[in-house]
Structure 1
Amino acid sequence: MTFNFLSPVSDAVMAHKELLLPQALGKKLKLHSKAHGIPDLDNVKVAIIGVLENRNDINYMGSDVQLDTIRTVFYNLFPGNWHTNIADLGDILKGDSVEDTYFALRTTITILLEKKIIPVILGGSQDLTYPNYRAYDSICPMVNVVNVDSNFDLGDSTLPIKNNSYLGKIILEQPYNLFNYSTIGYQTYFNSQEEIDLMEKLYFEAYRLGEVSNAINIVEPVMRDAHIVSVDLKAVKASEVAKKQKYSPNGLDGKEICAIARYAGISNKVSSFGIYEYQQSEDDHVTAMLVAQIMWYFIEGVNCRVNENVLGDPVNYQKFNVLIDDDDLIFYKSNKTGRWWIEIPFLPDVNNKLKKHTLLPCTHQDYTEATQGKIPERWFKAYKKNSY
């Protein structure tokens, strides 16, 4: 299979690249250009893909998606002490229909996943998360999705898919591959009580903006368990972005969204990362710079990944048993990184989604609270989800 759906990086961006300092990122990327075509992807770990599709935006008024400003700003940045090879594969243009674009994105992501390359998707409306999810159909039997957003995006699943309702399609359409869905940074007044109740009923996870801002580290175990991370730029507060991008006076600040991106990059499980709802305007430099820095921090995280097989050898971990009522909670702490996990038991008499004991990322605080008789909420939701 080849990357037939990708259009090369624009001539304007290629011309800008020639003016960069030798140490700049733009000089170190493998680029899809008109002159040379798709680059050799051997040893490439991260691939950038633009998707110029926004027709399922509920506010779509005929505007086009433009990503050149993001690219020029990103190319200007300097890499850290990175060992990761990065490619920019250009853009997927709008198809004759939105479904055509979905097919192109799904096919492209599937190829990259098979090559063990992490796609970084720039959009476009956030409903593009749906074809990103469907790309895993032949790759991973159970998928965890994390949405960094002020909204749950559940919507009305009986209506056609939109950027505020793609999750309903993910939940209800076969094959049923979704195991867990988490929203980071949601704001209650943007979500109906019915949606909040449904999130609870499905044992999905939701972290309010205040929780995240007060303790950004609660994001780390959520990201450690994610396969797909989808970032809606409307989660960022208005003071951090350009005029056309402003959505709400409350939201994540630039430092917080970049920290979240780095947690996603550090996760060994995260295999695709998308940034959506970019709205270009003439005073666009600040938003483009923020997106570029989000990408930078994600790739920085990828460079900091540590291979650790917690249960591979007892020398790699410490094991702790905590008895709460009739539940024996088993915690593990990595001797290499200090990260914590809690075991979800396999229930042999239940037709569940898990076929064996599995480890759920958690925090040291979860262990501390368990020793005081409090069952961790993440464990409870995962256990209940595994029981039906």
Structure 2
Amino acid sequence: MTMSGVTSSASSPPTPPSPAKSERSEETEPTRRTRRPALSPGQLAERYTLPALAVAVAVFFSLYPPSAAVFPTSANLSVVTGNQSVIALLALAALAPLAAGYFDFSLGANAATSSLVCAALMARHGVGVVPAVLAAVATGVLIGLVNGIMVARFQMSSFITTLGSATLLGGVIQWYSGGQTISAGVSPALLDFGSEQWLGLPRVVSVVVVLGALMWYLLGHTPYGRALYAMGSNPRAANLVGIRVRRNLLLTFVIAGALAGIAGVLQTARVGGATADSGTSLLFPALAAVFLGATAIEPGRFNVLGTMIGVVFVSETVSGLTLAGASDWVDPVFNGAALLLAVGLSTYFGRRRAAGAAV
């Protein structure tokens, strides 16, 4: 019986699988492996509350009588997007160090210093627009490099180091400018770039879009970006698994400095020169946008899309309040309150994300 059974089974060829069934299994297996679980209503609310609030604020100020005549117009949109382009770039600059778990409080002063270099080279030394712009960006890179060396190489606190750098740079700005705006002699080509429209929006917005896309790809789709998030979650564990923490940290501060330098150039183009401001007024709205962004799209994680939504939310709210006749003190009060709320929410979501990963 056994022999006959073996013989019969060996003599009859196996039935080939149905082609349709094979193709179906080949198609469904990868899908099953890559399919993500559906988000719960609570997770959807966490991800999309900030975008919904941004839309609600826009609708409110478009209908609110004191601001309804101006807020929804293309002219106001052009002004707001142009003015907030510098804030958006500084928010992108702050994003990378924060993703790695470090602060850079010198970014506003870095942008102001780069703006001063750009304007002064053209106005006081007759340098052409291209060399002046390159020198301004190089200034931002140099400041970021110095900060990175102190933090990465000498293990100094990023909080104290960059705060000290900001104070030092603010003093240099006051000394060189004499408290005056440097504007006479700035290249008309740069001023035209800051004021011209493209597709109904200021041309400077295109710079933000391009650099935002680059940062989105860099942080979300490269080994460098994954290393940054690993460093931000647990730097000691990141070091143990072979991530070169010091090198990545140094590169992060250099990238942040470069973005701040470009922001300084855009500031010169938009304002028409360099002011004696130390950049503090630019930094805190940017930080508020970054921390607000950490509550959206990927709650508990600093991300580019959330940051840009945070910039939109902050800028449109300030614009709406101004058009509605709010006093001058409302702007800094709102930025401060938004920053405090954003830090609290991003910390809460970060802890929830870490707890979920541990489970």
TM-score, normalization by structure 1? 0.22
Rg (Cα) greater in structure: 2
Which structure has greater strand proportion?
1
Q: Which has the higher contact order (CA 8 A, sep 6+)?
A: 2
Which structure has greater helix proportion?
2
TM-score, normalization by structure 2? 0.24
